[in-house]
Amino acid sequence: MTRSLVIAPQWIGDAVMSEPLLARLAARGEALAVAALPWVAPVYQAMPQVGEVIELPFAHGRLDLAARRRLAREWRGRFDAAYVLPNSFKSALLPFLAHVPLRVGYLGESRYVLLNRRLANVAGRPPMVDFYSALAGEPVPQGQRPQLHFDPARIAAATERAGVAAGGYWVFAPGAEYGPAKCWPAAHYAALARSLHEESGLPVLLLGSGKEATLCRAIAQDAGSACEVLAGQTSLIDAMALIAAARGMVSNDSGLMHVAAAFDVPQAALFGSTSPEHTPPLNPNARVLWLKEELQLDCAPCFDRVCRFGHTRCLTEIAPPRVQTQLLQAVAAAAATVKR
């Protein structure tokens, strides 16, 4: 059996998008260990094909060469192949220093010496599932999409800690690490939360990182009694489990959006500065709202962190009632599929 090391990407959404690659490697008999930064590692705990998750002890953005050399010495002889998913120079250092015989990745940042099976860099912004899956060296099956799985006990523990019942709440993920040009307005989230709560009687859980807690508290204050703020108060594992058991989810284009998609949760996904052609929620129960064609926005997608024109019409003009309609349609369609 081939013992394979996967160097994981640094963002949650990209980690989710790597799952089809790992599924293909496992299906052809490779035993997988994934090396990931701590804030991404929990995603791989929801992939049954991963035998080991190794948390990397490196600071974000730092080379940490001495620490990489120490870890590489520990790995020597452990792995037959390595798949390097990020395109950075430092991400390819570990397999090289560990003398892994086969080292696969995109040429990236001048990594000619570090890798010995190199794919040419891809122009533009390709679909991320295809981008990662190409590292397997086989044709990519049509329609493949990420899938995550938790056992029922993990989900039950998370919902119990949050004081909710599976299927008895909504989830909003109103933040986005990349910047405000990806974020639907807080006032819109609050209006949607009030309306959903009034119609369904179910609470809305606001999830996100500690950096998004202030935003979530502002939404909760504006939404009356509809919301409970859990941003910054749950582990990523628990946040993922709460998403997996939700009635439905609303989010910007973010890592948690991809988590919901990989659990097949009914969702409304809101796109502004980014494009659903590049990072769509690959979920039959997803409804995508993107106003590029409807508003004839030549600037979209701009991929800017902050709207260069200062209006962010691509997001502000997505009205809360429209999002609620799409979300409820997604929930109804998912329920009908289960009944068939």
- Name the E strands within the chain: 3-7, 31-36, 50-55, 81-84, 102-106, 117-119, 170-173, 204-206, 227-229, 248-252, 267-270, 286-289
Q: Domain boundary at 136, 169, 201, which?
A: 136
For range 1-16, the mean pLDDT: 95
Tokens 């129960």 map to which residue?
285
The residue among 12, 194, 87 whose CA lies nearest residue 186 is 194
- Give the C-alpha separation, 201 to 312, whole Å: 32
The residue among 40, 42, 54, 48 whose CA lies nearest residue 94 is 54
pLDDT reading at 329 higher than 70: yes
pLDDT band at 322 (very low <50, low <70, confident <90, very high): very high
For range 84-111, the mean pLDDT: 94
Is residue 80 situated within a structural domain?
yes
pLDDT reading at 138 higher than 90: no
- Give the C-alpha separation, 338 to 331, whole Å: 11
For range 313-338, the mean pLDDT: 94
pTM for this prediction: 0.94
Answer yes or no: do 38 and 165 share one domain: no
pLDDT reading at 340 higher than 70: no
Q: Is residue 216 classed as helix, strand or coil in its secondary structure?
A: helix
Structure confidence by residue, pLDDT tens digits, 179-196: 788 899 999 999 999 999
- Give the C-alpha separation, 9 to 92, whole Å: 12
The residue among 280, 272, 276 whose CA lies nearest residue 315 is 272
Structure confidence by residue, pLDDT tens digits, 282-319: 999 999 999 988 888 888 998 898 888 888 899 999 99
Answer yes or no: do 171 and 292 share one domain: yes
- Give the C-alpha separation, 283 to 258, whole Å: 9
Q: Which domain holds residue 78?
A: 3-136
Structure confidence by residue, pLDDT tens digits, 39-69: 999 999 999 999 999 999 887 667 788 889 9
* pLDDT at res. 310: 82
Is residue 143 situated within a structural domain?
no
Tokens 């429209």 map to which residue?
322
CB 336 within 8 A of CB 285: no
Answer yes or no: do 187 and 321 share one domain: yes
Structure confidence by residue, pLDDT tens digits, 210-233: 999 999 999 999 999 999 999 999
Output the average pLDDT for the chain. Answer: 93
Answer yes or no: do 220 and 100 share one domain: no
Answer yes or no: do 199 and 238 share one domain: yes
- Can you give the CATH number for the domain in which 327 is found? 3.40.50.2000
pLDDT band at 234 (very low <50, low <70, confident <90, very high): very high
Structure confidence by residue, pLDDT tens digits, 272-289: 898 998 889 999 999 999
* pLDDT at res. 339: 64
Is residue 282 situated within a structural domain?
yes
The total number of structural domains that make up the chain: 2
Pairing of strands 170-173, 204-206: parallel
- Give the C-alpha separation, 293 to 46, whole Å: 36
Is residue 224 situated within a structural domain?
yes
Say which amino acid occupies 206: L
